[in-house]
């Protein structure tokens, strides 16, 4: 399905967050939680030992970010302001859609559902941890990324 203009704008903003946060690695690597990753943080069908071209990395980023935007937009009934959608789409690209979509485990998702966008944006910094050796640890890169997402998110409310 084609992206709406609002979704495309949100994807562009989210991509601008993701690129510096992820960096570019053209060879597959294991991220701190141990997930096989390549390019700009893509974890979809990564082949260990393969070198990915810049074009492949760009295509992966575009496809993965569009998927994240559509997931967040769908689960929030297309109600989010563009920058709120962008911030939560980048977060979903990074940690999965539950941050914005799973009201059972995410306070942010409940707040988004209820239209409390400012409070939802303020929940983003709480998602700065990853499991490393079974322990939930705050990671500096995630802390910085969530702060940037929150900054952009709050511009949309």
Q: b vs e for 43-67, b when ≥16 Cβ sit within 10 Å of the residue's Cβ?
A: beebeeeeebeeeebbebbeebbbb
- If you average pLDDT over residues 139-145, what whole number do you get? 96
Q: Who wins on pLDDT, 133 or 113?
A: 113
CB 143 within 8 A of CB 16: no
> Domains in the chain, ordered, with CATH?
5-155 (1.10.530.40)
- Considering the chain, what percentage of its residues have pLDDT values greater than 90? 94
- If you average pLDDT over residues 92-100, what whole number do you get? 97
pLDDT at 118: 98
- Rounded to whole angstroms, the Cα distance separating 30 from 125 reads 24
- Considering the chain, what percentage of its residues have pLDDT values greater than 70? 99
Mean pLDDT, the chain, whole residue set: 96
Does pLDDT of 43 surpass 80?
yes
Instruction: Report phi then psi at 31, rounded to 5.
Output: -75, 175
Residues paired with residue 25 on neighbouring β-strands, in sequence order: 39
Segment 2-33, tens digit of pLDDT: 899 999 999 999 999 999 999 999 999 998 88
- If you average pLDDT over residues 77-98, what whole number do you get? 96
Does pLDDT of 122 surpass 90?
yes
CA-CA distances (angstroms) from residue 78 to 9, 10, 23, 58, 118?
14, 12, 30, 26, 17
5 CB neighbour count, 10 Å cutoff: 8
């Amino acid at each position: 399905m084609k992206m709406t203009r609002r979704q495309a704008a949100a994807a562009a903003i989210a991509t601008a967050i993701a690129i510096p946060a992820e960096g570019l690695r053209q060879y597959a690597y294991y991220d701190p939680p141990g997930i096989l990753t390549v390019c700009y943080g893509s974890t979809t069908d990564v082949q260990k030992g393969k070198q990915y071209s810049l074009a492949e990395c760009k295509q992966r980023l575009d496809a993965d970010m569009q998927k994240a935007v559509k997931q967040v937009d769908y689960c929030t009934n297309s109600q989010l302001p563009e920058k709120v959608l962008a911030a939560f789409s980048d977060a979903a690209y990074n940690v999965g859609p539950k941050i914005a979509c799973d009201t059972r485990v995410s306070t942010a998702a409940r707040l988004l559902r209820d239209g409390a966008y400012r409070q939802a944006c303020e929940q983003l910094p709480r998602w700065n941890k990853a499991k490393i050796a079974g322990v939930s640890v705050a990671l500096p890169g995630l802390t910085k990324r969530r702060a940037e997402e929150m900054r952009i998110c709050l511009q949309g409310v």
